[in-house]
Amino acid sequence: MKTLILSSLFFLCAVSFAQETPCSKGDCQNGYGFYYNKETGDVYHGFYKNGLYNGVGYSQNKTSDYYYSNFKEGKPDGFTVYDEGEGRTSGLFEKGIKIGDHIREVRSSQGFSRELISYDQGQVLSRKTFTPQDIADATCISGDCIDDYGIYFQNNTIISGKFENGRFTYGEMMHIETKTSDFFMPPLETEQHTPYFKFSITMTDNGANEAAYISVGPKADGQYILVNMKQNNFVGALFKDNQLVERY
């Protein structure tokens, strides 16, 4: 995703939280909509189907817990990036229930750390923290980068995630020079034809640009949302082959 595309969308839309009706923008039945309920504190910015969160979206509750996901029938589903008060976390959901291994960002002055949290139908099975001690290029600096969770460093990029037969299966790629992190679960096929959900965050002088979208290979292709809390900007869009088709 090119910065130019993000910037051209980003500064064109701000949402007011002072609307009288919860659906303050767009179509909250079938399409893109922005929903804010002053009584409950619930926010949803994304796509709908039959009045339910369905598609790429961002939801937040009154305690500021948030979820970026490809929602299905109102619930986070598949690979999701979220924060329930303990730090940004990524992992799999099934009909709103956590499953498998989730990776949590550990907020610490000690440096880069991640916690692996294993779930079975929403129940925590185990927790383990990984903190690299020595960083060398093109090496696995913590964990197991062949067939488990590991942290790999190469070309100023930190890859934190699950690996299978040496292949990255899901997690985060932090690009140090561009101050951008990409969170995703790439499809198994190598032809780059299968759509998948992706979340990217880029730090700027005007706050963090947080984008969630459907990607095919490296290109945005489908539903897209952008959030910048500092600027109170919420943008919805549709892309085709990395080209903007419609902006909401």
Residue 65, domain member (yes or no): yes
Residue 193, domain member (yes or no): yes
Q: What is the number of domains present in the chain?
A: 1
What is the distance between the alpha carbons of residues 100 and 80, in angstroms, rounded to a whole number? 12
Residue 248, domain member (yes or no): no
Residue 91, domain member (yes or no): yes
pTM summary value = 0.92
List Cα–Cα distances, 196 to 20, 61, 74, 90, in angstroms: 36, 26, 19, 15
What is the distance between the alpha carbons of residues 170 and 173, in angstroms, rounded to a whole number? 9
Residue with tokens 């927790």: 127
Residue 246, domain member (yes or no): no
What range defines the domain where residue 166 resides?
3-14+23-241
Residue 247, domain member (yes or no): no
List Cα–Cα distances, 170 to 150, 188, 200, in angstroms: 11, 11, 14
CB atoms near residue 10 (< 10 Å): 21
**What does each of the 248 residues of the chain score in pLDDT, given as a tens digit?**
444 345 445 544 554 444 456 999 999 999 999 999 999 999 999 999 999 999 999 999 999 999 999 999 999 999 999 999 999 999 999 999 999 999 999 987 777 899 999 999 999 999 999 999 888 999 999 999 999 999 999 999 999 999 999 999 999 999 999 999 999 999 987 778 899 999 999 999 999 999 999 999 999 999 999 999 999 999 999 999 999 999 99
